[in-house]
Amino acid sequence: MKFEVLSKEDMNALSRELSRAGIMNSRFEVDDEEVFHQAVLRGKYRELLNSCNITAVEESLESIRRAYDEMMKDWEVGQEKSVEELFEESDVERLTLVTALVEMGVLEEGKNGLKLVKHVPLDDVELELRFPLEEIYDEDEDKLKCFKIVTEVSISKRYYVRVMEVDRDLIEKAIQIAEDYATEESRVNAMFAGMARSLMADMILKLAEEYPRKDRLIEAIMEREPLEIGSEAGSVQVYFDEDAVESFIKELQSMGYLKVKGNRIWVY
């Protein structure tokens, strides 16, 4: 199981906290590339209304129309509105609209927010709409000609702390400690991964008592795939292959749970 953190400092701090709690862990960094394909549509509002008959575009323009009406209601030239007023409900269309108005000089930064410089009809507002390519790629090919396809590649460093434990109590303690450092998504994933590791370890150690030969032990383990734990409300199913089982046995040996010599296995 592993936790993702947002900085090298957090990675080091989390590793130290885990070590102080007696939890085996290691740190590692990954150079990551993420690729995003987007369909981009640019033009004045009135032009976009009839540019292509695609549901995603129509819904986005309708949301922008509602946002414009709400924002401009009772907004006098020279008056400022706070960011909180403008973004009562954070959404992509509202951000798109505000960005467009700032670029056109309709809005400018004031002392306490954004100031209205002049009134401009929504029909004349130059907008840039962006959609994940998968949202529209199955539309009619002729309709897609109005879009420009933009591919963005994000290159970044990602930081992780891996926990090498199978004991349930230590896994739960690690998840608690990680609350102050790790991303929420990685904590949730780690919770299920930790559950799977603990379940896998319990099964291997139990079967190793019955099958002291490694080749037969692995066969017995594979016969039990997938492992499952749960209740009426839901379950966790654990799948694995022989290479993963071999690796897990070696990990249990390194942690002192097993001794492997040739094809023989002893449980401590």
Express each pLDDT in 141-173 by its tens digit. Answer: 666 778 899 999 999 999 999 999 999 999 999
Helix axes 242-254, 214-223, angle to 10 degrees: 120
The whole model's pTM is what? 0.70
Q: What residue type is 184 in one-letter code?
A: E
Q: Give the tens place of pLDDT for each residue, 2-35.
A: 999 999 999 999 999 999 999 999 999 999 999 9
- The per-residue pLDDT for range 89-126, each reduced to its tens digit, is 667 888 999 999 999 999 999 888 899 999 999 999 99
DSSP H or E run through 63? helix 55-72
User: Is 166-267 a domain of CATH 1.10.10.10?
Assistant: yes
Task: Give the C-alpha separation, 174 to 161, whole Å.
Answer: 11
Other C-beta atoms closer than 10 Å to the C-beta of 69 total 10
Specify the residue for token string 């046995």: 249
Domain extents in the chain? 37-146, 166-267
Q: For residue 55, is pLDDT > 90?
A: no
Per the prediction, the chain carries an average pLDDT of: 91
Contact criterion met (CB below 8 Å) for 71 and 120: no
What phi and psi values does residue 156 have, to the nearest 5 degrees?
-150, 165
Q: What is the pLDDT of residue 236?
A: 87
Region 257-268: what's the mean pLDDT? Answer: 92
Q: What is the pLDDT of residues 165-200, one digit of tens each?
A: 999 999 999 999 999 999 999 999 999 999 999 999
